[in-house]
A and B are shown apart, each in its own frame.
Chain A
Amino acid sequence: MIYLVAHAARVSALLGQHVVLVAVSLAIALVIALPLGTTAARHPRAGTLILATAGILYTIPSLALLALLVAAIGLGPSTAIVALVVYAQMILIRAVVAGLRGVDPALVDAARGMGLSARQTLLRVEFPAALPVMLAGVRVAAVTLVALATVAAWIDAGGLGVLLFEGILTQNDDKIVAGALAAAALAIVADLALRGCERAVRR
């Protein structure tokens, strides 16, 4: 705790980097997962392929994936973001598929029958109806990325992982505790905030 208090400015700077890493990754991951998940929900065969691919990528150990990415695109935050985006896909695509498949078929039938186009039905009816399930996926992805992003420090991407790696190298337990506490707090805050969003849209 001493480090956390004595170096509050540094910890909060690293916390800020961590938040940016996670937020940027999550945003990019969503932009990719929405169309992929929608396609997967619509076309079972493509869906199997998409989910299998995301599943395989998800099983690659994070250090191994980072090492491969460093070899391909070098050190730095952008490399970490690529890795985090890849990991989030599995969780987010599944959530989009589950959300869309869970939409009451009568809603879609009514929408199409009234003359909404496929696109209008998706945007005005299916996405809003699937939103609570999709948001649950975003929440799980956010918490997972907060944890995973600590490894990003290993490839010079910054974030709270810096404290963990420095602590390990210099055998400074206090530093490790500071990093771990800050990361855990961030994960809890993200979880609570997104749970709040879920409740709001369910209402």
Chain B
Amino acid sequence: MSAPTPPSGARVEFRDLEVRYADAPAAAVSGVNLTVDAGTFAVLLGPSGCGKSTLLRTINRLVEPTSGTVLIDSVDVREREVTTLRRGIGYAIQAVGLFPHYTVARNIAVVPELLGWERSRLAARVDELLTLVSLDPARYRGRLPRELSGGEAQRVGVARALAAEPRVLLMDEPFAAVDAIVRASLQDEIARVHRELRTTIVFVTHDVDEALRLADSIVVMNAGRIVQEAPPAQLLSDPADAFVRSLVGVDAQTRRLALERPLIER
């Protein structure tokens, strides 16, 4: 299997970020200062409505901040034309959103096609990506989305997000809709993909175990603010406040034990 040329990830920074929706009384995100180093797997963790998805969506400008800036490798995202910016950022979401009338291959090729890649390069890239997400290209490239299981669809979603070799990959609760066994295998998959490609990943979840399993760095959010930013082990051993403690819960001890193996593997 030929591994794709590893693009080094980009650094993502938030400076004094605030997002206020027109019809909401409180800010969805406020006072966020955060740096996600190049190549880091960062997980935004928090209960629903805490602002983690909103924060993620400011990176590809699906949400425009009320104030503050988002920088990718020190360049303000607002300085780039919005579709150009987005084509350089991978985007995978819980509902996947594969185009139902496109085959798997065409779905994966959407962004490279927009970028004007040549046909031969496109076809090779599709096969390479399907292999990367553990789907047999010969069996899957011609299928339609409705012929895929939930887990297979999300693998294609991940392949599509990685298609144009983005330096940043955004994932919004990508594995929340699949069952526990499939979720675990998808988590293994994305961890492996991250090890191989070293793309910067910003990953949103409300699932503590998922965050602990995948993250280099966990960013805990509550009510629009960052409560704590720490590597998984430190989050368990040294929760910043009562909220984080209740989030990681009474199982902290067990979870710490579970962490040890993946940590050694890294």
Contact = CB atoms under 8 A, between A and B. Distances in A.
A115 B83 CA distance: 4
Interface in A112-147: 112-117, 120, 124-125, 128-129
Given A109-B62, A129-B100, A114 B87 contact: yes
B111 A114 contact: yes
A104 B91 CA distance: 17
B114 A116 contact: yes
B91 A113 contact: yes
B60 interface: yes
Contacts of B62: 109, 112-113
Chain A at the B interface: SS class: helix
B97 interface: yes
A111 interface: yes
A115 B85 contact: yes
Interface string B158-197: 0011000000001000000000000000000000000000
Contacts, number: 62
- The B interface is mostly helix, strand or loop, or mixed, namely mixed
B97 A117 contact: no
B101 A129 contact: yes
Contacts of B100: 107, 128-129
A104 B99 contact: no
B101 A106 contact: no
A63 interface: no
Contacts of B98: 110
Given A109-B62, A113-B60, A129-B100, A104 B95 contact: yes
A112 B86 contact: yes
Interface string B100-113: 11000000001100
B87 A104 contact: no
B83 A116 contact: yes
A106 B93 contact: yes
Given A114-B91, A115-B114, A116-B114, A109 B86 contact: no
Interface residues of A, number: 18
B97 A107 contact: yes
A124 B91 contact: no
B84 interface: yes
A107 B85 contact: no
Given A125-B99, A129-B101, A115 B93 contact: no
A115 B86 contact: yes
Interface in B63-102: 82-89, 91, 93-101
A115 B62 CA distance: 10
Contacts of A106: 93-97
Contacts of A124: 99
A118 to B, nearest CB: 9
A84 B94 CA distance: 45
Contact of B93 (A113, A116, A117, A120): A113
A138 B95 CA distance: 30
B101 A111 contact: no
20 contacts: A106-B94, A109-B97, A111-B99, A114-B91, A114-B110, A114-B111, A114-B160, A115-B82, A115-B83, A115-B84, A115-B86, A115-B87, A115-B89, A116-B110, A120-B114, A128-B99, A128-B100, A128-B101, A129-B99, A129-B100
A-B pairs, 6 with minimum CB distance: A110-B97, A106-B95, A115-B86, A115-B87, A113-B91, A106-B97
